[in-house]
Amino acid sequence: MAVAVVLVLVALGSVVFHMLSPWWWTPIASNWGFIDNTILITFWITGAVFVAVVLFTAYCIYTFRHREGLRADYEPENQKLETWLGLGTALGVAAMLTPGLVVWYQFVTVPEGAAEIEVVGQQWSWAYRFPGPDGKLGTTDVRYIGPDNPLGLNPSDPNGSDDVIVDGGDLHLPRGGPIKVLLRSTDVLHDFYVPEFRAKMDMIPGTVTYFWLTPTRDGTFDILCAEYCGVGHANMRGTVVVEDAAKQKAWLSQQKSFAELSARGRTAAR
């Protein structure tokens, strides 16, 4: 009896703790509220299953407890019960997966006309690249990475000479327009994550991954690496500033292009 009561209290206490505890996310600052809704659906389904299993266990412990004169029935199989459990499990998994697949499709389907930026992760810092006046990002290759070219831009590609490089500084994004974020790593696996954006994606060496978002709220937000990448992982942090387009454009005009940085490096080498 005591065990059954404890299990009921665990089930009810878990629900109360979930509803009253301040575990909720930070206020969202992008268009990806769909991700919050998907997580909530998962919470409700898994929470309902948890409560049902615990209460059923408590019921069985109480109902089938040892009593003088009672004998247990040997029933190694119950096809009806197994069928219901299989169907219920399949429906629950489908209910959790379907919203996620819908949101994932939206997450990687970039709207036409979206601006492009590149985020490069390396142990243990962030760097960013914006298209120059030509509106195109130049090509890259790890063979070109060096002290004067940490992002590995192709010096022979004319589209890359005017690319704007921000190495180790803050990332400024304009509010209100769709942005395609290209993600690249120069060494090991990283993960670009801004909690307020609800957007994250692995950065895989040798591969360019991407997602898109529309920043919707002005502010300064933390950039985190959400994939263990070595002893400095906890310190791999950055800052993204969301502001109106005019301020972001003014900030961008103050940054150096790849050609300017290369010329400065050649001058310093002399």
In this prediction the pTM is 0.79
Task: State the chain's mean pLDDT as an integer.
Answer: 87
Cα 73 from Cα 39, distance rounded (Å) = 42
Let me know: does 209 contact 201? Beta carbons within 8 Å.
yes
- In sequence order, the 6+-apart residues with CB closer than 8 A to the CB of 221 are 29, 194, 195, 196, 197, 239, 240, 241, 242
pLDDT tens-digit series, residues 148-192: 888 889 888 888 888 899 988 899 999 999 999 999 998 899 999
**Greater model confidence, 113 or 241:** 241
Let me know: does 262 contact 155? Beta carbons within 8 Å.
yes
Domain spans of the chain?
2-65+80-108, 115-269
Question: Domain 115-269: what homologous superfamily?
Answer: Cupredoxins -  blue copper proteins (2.60.40.420)
